[in-house]
């Protein structure tokens, strides 16, 4: 057995596993790059038989390192990160990821190590940072065939400082007089701005007893027209200052109509009077029913007091009508009784009086009168 190095069989890492006339096996532990080369097995027969095999040793890349980051970084600055790994054979591949998205526009550099067998690989990433990069993890990943599909990675979490961003959020979109109002100053920045400053129309708050500041909130206990104006929230940190404005217009409270009671039934008043007048034994006159023209019909939802008043007036008018009609009928009834006796006053005897009375009744039939 011929090995690539002289006296290789004396290396404790090399062990003879099996030896026979048909097979010769060895094992090499803790393989290094120096073990790479051609191995020859010879069988000393007539003629001598030999077999050769070439052993290739892969150089496993070291764990990558990221350099170039100094915390914190100001918003808008240009950042340059470099990822480097050594000892790979063949040269390893380096890839960059940010927010789980691969970045393609990078610089790649490969250098041969001093042993002239392995390589040192580096990759440089350049980008301009903004506030959205704060807290983002930038990953450098090393891929190599010796890693058995388990790449080595290095990670750098970014810390970006930026000026505050400010927004005012009202508790109601339609503030009305007499109601409370809370204005919330939503400020974001790094470092976090604390506290915030509230002003109105460029000056201090005019009514501190009614306008209470609690943290980032301005609480106006109850609104009135004097509160109209421009409210400003100002936030400051070590990087800079920012502000937002809110124009307050206090609206009048809308008039609210009182609920009305609706009576679904219709209210009417009807008075019926019947009078019978006898002008002969078989003749009578009747009056038809009279409907009060003042009765209300078809009116929805009247007031109870109004209904009571109408009913009282109708009853009073009805009683007056009955009383007057009774007096009128009583007076005319006496007149009819007097006319019935005409013609019998001058009769000399009873028979003549009856005859004259019958003649009067005949004439009376021709002059019938009806009272309604």
What tens digit of pLDDT does each residue of 235-294 get?
999 999 999 999 999 999 887 655 554 444 443 333 333 333 333 333 333 333 334 444
Same fold, 65-158 and 163-248: yes
Long-range pairs of 107-111 with CB within 8 A, sequence gap ≥ 24:
none
∠ CA 341-342-345, rounded to 5°: 85
User: pLDDT digits over 198-230, tens only?
Assistant: 999 999 999 999 999 999 999 999 999 999 999
Q: Residues 166, 171, 177, 179: what is their CA dihedral angle, to the nearest 10 degrees? A: -130
The helix/strand/coil state of 249 is coil
Q: Give the C-alpha distances (Å, rounded to integers) separating 134 from 189, 191, 256, 326.
A: 10, 11, 53, 106
Tell the CATH topology of 65-158.
Answer: Immunoglobulin-like (2.60.40)
Digit-coded pLDDT (tens) for 139-174: 999 999 999 878 899 999 999 999 999 999 999 999
Q: What is the b/e burial string over 2-24, where b = at least 16 CB atoms within 10 angstroms of the residue's CB?
A: ebeeeebeeeeebeeeeeeeeee
CA 217 – CA 210 distance, rounded (Å): 13
Q: List the beta strands (DSSP E) in 173-271.
A: 181-190, 197-200, 211-214, 217-220, 229-236, 241-248, 270-271
Decide: pTM greater than 0.85. no
pLDDT at 73 over 80: yes
Taking residue 265's Cβ as centre, other Cβ atoms within 10 Å add up to: 5
Question: Residue 93: beta bridge partners?
Answer: 143
Every domain of the chain and the residues it spans: 14-55, 65-158, 163-248
**Architecture in CATH for domain 163-248:** Sandwich (2.60)
């Amino acid at each position: 057995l011929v090995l690539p190095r002289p006296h290789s069989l004396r290396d404790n890492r090399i062990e003879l596993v099996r030896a026979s006339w048909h097979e010769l096996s060895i094992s090499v532990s803790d393989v290094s790059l120096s073990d790479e080369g051609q191995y020859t097995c010879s069988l000393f027969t007539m003629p001598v038989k030999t077999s050769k095999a070439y052993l290739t040793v892969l150089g496993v890349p070291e764990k990558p390192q990221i350099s170039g980051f100094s915390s914190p970084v100001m918003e808008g600055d240009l950042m340059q990160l470099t990822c480097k790994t050594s000892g790979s054979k063949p040269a390893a591949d380096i890839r960059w990821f940010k927010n789980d998205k691969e970045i393609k526009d990078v610089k790649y550099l490969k250098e041969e190590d001093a042993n002239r067998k392995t390589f040192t690989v580096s990759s440089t990433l350049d980008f301009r940072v903004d506030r959205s990069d704060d807290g983002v993890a930038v990953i450098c990943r090393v891929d190599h065939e010796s890693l058995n599909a388990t790449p080595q990675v290095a990670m750098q979490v970014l810390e970006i400082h930026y000026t505050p961003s400010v927004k005012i959020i009202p508790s109601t979109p339609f503030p009305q007089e007499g109601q409370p109002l809370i204005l919330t100053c939503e400020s974001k920045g790094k470092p976090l701005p604390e506290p915030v400053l509230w002003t109105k129309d460029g000056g201090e708050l005019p009514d501190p007893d009614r306008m209470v500041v609690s943290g980032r909130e301005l609480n106006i206990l109850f609104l009135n027209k004097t509160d109209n104006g421009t409210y400003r929230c100002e936030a400051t940190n070590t990087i800079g200052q920012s502000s937002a404005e809110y124009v307050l217009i206090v609206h009048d409270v809308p008039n609210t109509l009182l609920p009305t009671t609706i009576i679904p039934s219709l209210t009417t008043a009807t008075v019926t009077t019947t009078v019978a007048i006898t002008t002969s034994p078989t003749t009578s006159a009747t009056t038809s029913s009279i409907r009060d023209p003042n009765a209300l019909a078809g009116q929805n939802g009247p007031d109870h007091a109004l209904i009571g008043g109408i009913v009282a007036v109708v009853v009073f008018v009805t009683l007056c009508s009955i009383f007057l009609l009774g007096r009128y009928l009583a007076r005319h009834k006496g007149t009819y009784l007097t006319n019935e006796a005409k013609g019998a006053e001058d009769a000399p005897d009873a028979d003549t009086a009856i005859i004259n009375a019958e003649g009067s009744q005949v004439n009376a039939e021709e002059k019938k009168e009806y009272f309604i």
